[in-house]
Amino acid sequence: MRPLTVLGLLAAGLLAACDSLDDSTASRSSLPLGKGFDFYVLALSWSPGYCASEGERANRQQCGRDADFDFIVHGLWPQFERGWPEFCDTDEPLSVPRDRAEAMADIMPSTGLVRHQWKKHGSCTGLTQTDFFATTRAAFAKIAIPEAFRDRATIDRLEPGSVERAFLDANPGMPAASVAVTCDRRFLRDVRICLTRDLAGYAVCPEVDRRDCPLPTVVVPPSH
C-alpha cells in the first residue's frame, strides 16, 4: 500500500472492512466459513519473480524451461488482526494426496507448494482439505488480474505503487488499505489482498500493509 492523499484517506476511512466484491447475492460464497481467525490474505505470486529470485533453488514444476506462468496462488492464509496462526492441529490428514495437489496445478503449479500451504496455513482454517482448496480457488477467481500482467514478454522496472494501482483499477471497489505489494531482493514477489472469511468483501489489514515493498522500483521479469 502506497501513501494516500487526504481525499484518499477519507475515502478509505469510509470503506468498511466488509466492502462487497460484488453486489449480487449470487457472488457471495456458499463455501463453509473458516473459523478461529479474523480474515484471509490471498497471496498472489508473480511467478517469474519467484523463479528469478530463487534461481537454481526454484521449484522446477513452476520454473521449468516450458513454464510460462503469470500470477499464481502463493497461498490463502488465515490471519488475525495481529499475527497469524500456522501449523495447527487438525483432524484432517497433514499430507495432501497427489491427485488433489495436481487438481490445483493451473493456479498452484507445484505439488510441494500445495502440500506446504495446507500443512502451514490450511490446517489453521478449521476447513477440510477439500473445502480449503475449493475456497482457495474461489478466492483466486474473485480477483481480476490486470491485463498488463498477462503474457508479459519484456522485462520492466516498475514502482510497487504502480503494481498496486493496476490491481485497484482492475478490481473496482477494492480499497488500497486491503492490498500490499511485496518484493524479494530486487524482484516483484507477491500482491497480497485481504479478504473477509466469507470472501464477500475486503478486509483492512494494517499489519499486512507494513510488509509492503520498501524499494522505489522492482524488476518484473517476463512470463515467457
Question: For residue 92, what pLDDT is reported?
Answer: 96
Q: Does domain 19-220 have CATH number 3.40.640.10?
A: no
First to last CA, the chain: 28
Q: CA angle at residue 80 from 79 to 85, to 5 degrees?
A: 65
Render 30-94 in DSSP notation, one character per residue. -SPPP-SSSEEEEEEEEHHHHHHHHGGGS-HHHHSTT----EEEEEEEEE-SSS---S---SS-S
Question: For residue 177, what pLDDT is reported?
Answer: 95
Instruction: Please write down the HEC assignment for all residues of 137-151.
Output: HHHHHHCCCCHHHCC
- In terms of residues, how long is the chain? 224
Q: Which grid coordinates are listed for 113?
A: 507448494
Match 521449484 to its residue by C-alpha cell: 59
Question: For residue 224, what pLDDT is reported?
Answer: 64
pLDDT averaged over 10-residue windows placed end to end, the chain, 224 residues:
43 41 44 93 96 90 87 98 96 96 96 97 98 98 96 93 98 96 95 97 95 96 84
Distance CA 88, CA 161 (A): 34
Question: For residue 16, what pLDDT is reported?
Answer: 39
Question: For residue 163, what pLDDT is reported?
Answer: 97
Annotated domain spans of the chain: 19-220
- Cα dihedral sign for 104, 24, 201, 35? negative
Residues near 14 by beta carbon (within 8 Å), at least 6 away in sequence: none
Query: Taking the model in full, what pTM does it have?
Result: 0.86
Distance CA 89, CA 109 (A): 26
Distance CA 170, CA 179 (A): 13
Render 180-205 in DSSP notation, one character per residue. EEEEETTEEEEEEEEE-TTSSEE---
pLDDT per residue over 58-93, tens digit each?
A: 998 999 877 789 999 999 999 999 999 999 999 999
